[in-house]
Structure 1
């Protein structure tokens, strides 16, 4: 009988008595049976797929129940974390008030100190730190009525004004820094100078130079009454203040803007205000496309 045929039937356990006798007569019969016995040890154990599937499903259900309990907790924790972050951010953030052309406003600080902010000015402070540090940053002009308490600092890029509780005005503009004390006392530090101001005292620096001033007789700055007053001030600073109050632009190519000016202008009548700043210096003005052109008479 054919050798391959006998081996195949032997592997299928399908040999009859005659075929079994022929298979046992094969030359490699002993090697084939030995190999067959060795492979028996490598047979996979019986696998119950149904039981295995049910076992896996039980484990998945258990994990889902754990996750379904934990999910709401995670949501609540996330919301609390966001709220805490928002609270911390908003309570430590600086508070800034800005005025624009022809605009004035009043601000009450956390200790009820009152600040009047002139046109095109900016005041910044921090509510969170206020109890331990009464500091404000000023860019522009403001009048302060400070409640008594710890040290109060007005910080500008031209100097720092320090008080305990008083009324004073600070004007911090490009090239121009002025502090006037109206009540109490004020300490001013600027340009390596330190001055203690009493009621009526002024501290003025123009273009880096200290300018001595007479006593201030008024009990408040004139701009609170919608009027700007100047005494021996370079004309260019008068024109800049006019631009802030009326949102206009000057053409000054034909005039000397370093000439000193003494006088005032109102904030609610542009025509009258123009005459107030031009007639004393014999200057004419014309308005062309929203630009006020100044010329000598």
Structure 2
């Protein structure tokens, strides 16, 4: 056996007695033994793979628990903040909407101290957040406005837009009925892309798509603010519609010409008197069953 093979088997502790004696007789035997002894001093400790794996997994689980311990509260806080932000955004960007029911009226103060009186079965909507940049309300129904001086003030309806500058006016927008009356200041009414300027006492009236000429308004405020409705040469169907809104009743007018013109009015606080006020001038009779009033010719 040559020298290299002998040394290799010695390093592997694989020498038989005869080979060991041969190794001891090598000239550099002492040097090889000293070198091996020195190398053994640097040998790594025995490594238990299974034990170390369990140790690492245990540390990972411990770290995960600690992480979960602070992540869960953080997630709760984040969820609360998200909800709060969502509510803030929703409430600050959402329109403020006011509605009235049958026989109900209300008065609203707008962000600039302008006031709006809302008649029965009406809706008013506006956005507080954008108010300083644009004074604008949406109206479906009837309302009387007292507008504080300032930038342009817009009332948007399905029929047209009313633009004013510090004034008092009434807007009524119902089915096939659009009326604007100026009581103070200057009002601009835009209908079909054409603007009409109204001075105090002027009235703009559209019925069934037709412009109706009217004399100047002599009252200083709308009659409905005083709990009564007044009409001047208006179709009887408009009278009936307003009556239904103020008293929450339904009319049967099968045998009545609702296009005939009516001049007069009725109070909002007495059903019996109100019925007489609208039937006697037209020589109509009436009968009431539950919530339905039937009108007939005498």
| Short-chain TM bin | 0.7 to 0.9
- In 1: Cα distance, 2:192 partner to 2:75 partner: 57
Give the CA RMSD over aligned residues. Answer: 1.6
Partner of 2:200: 199
Partner of 2:228: 227
TM-score, normalised on structure 2?
0.81
Structure 1 runs not aligned, ≥5 long: 1-44
- Per-residue deviation, residues 138-161 of structure 1 (Å, max 9, x unmatched): 110000001111111100111110
Q: Are 1:124 and 2:125 matched, yes or no?
A: yes
- In 1: Cα distance, 2:175 partner to 2:263 partner: 20
Structure 2 runs not aligned, ≥5 long: 1-45
Alpha-carbon shift at residue 125 of structure 1 (Å):
0.9
Q: Are 1:288 and 2:289 matched, yes or no?
A: yes
Partner of 2:72: 71
Alpha-carbon shift at residue 55 of structure 1 (Å):
2.9
- Per-residue deviation, residues 231-283 of structure 1 (Å, max 9, x unmatched): 00000100110010001111111111110000010000011011111111111
Q: Paired residues, what number? A: 253
- Report the secondary structure of 1:165's partner residue: coil
Task: Name whichever of 76-85 and 233-242 sits farther off.
Answer: 76-85
- Report the secondary structure of 1:149's partner residue: coil
Q: Are 1:108 and 2:109 matched, yes or no?
A: yes
- In 2: Cα distance, 1:88 partner to 1:148 partner: 29
- Report the secondary structure of 1:110's partner residue: coil
- Report the secondary structure of 1:271's partner residue: helix
- Report the secondary structure of 1:157's partner residue: coil
Correspondence list, 1:191-270, <5 A: 191-270=192-271
Alpha-carbon shift at residue 172 of structure 1 (Å):
0.2
Partner of 1:175: 176
TM-score, normalised on structure 1?
0.82
Alpha-carbon shift at residue 192 of structure 1 (Å):
4.1
Partner of 2:57: 56
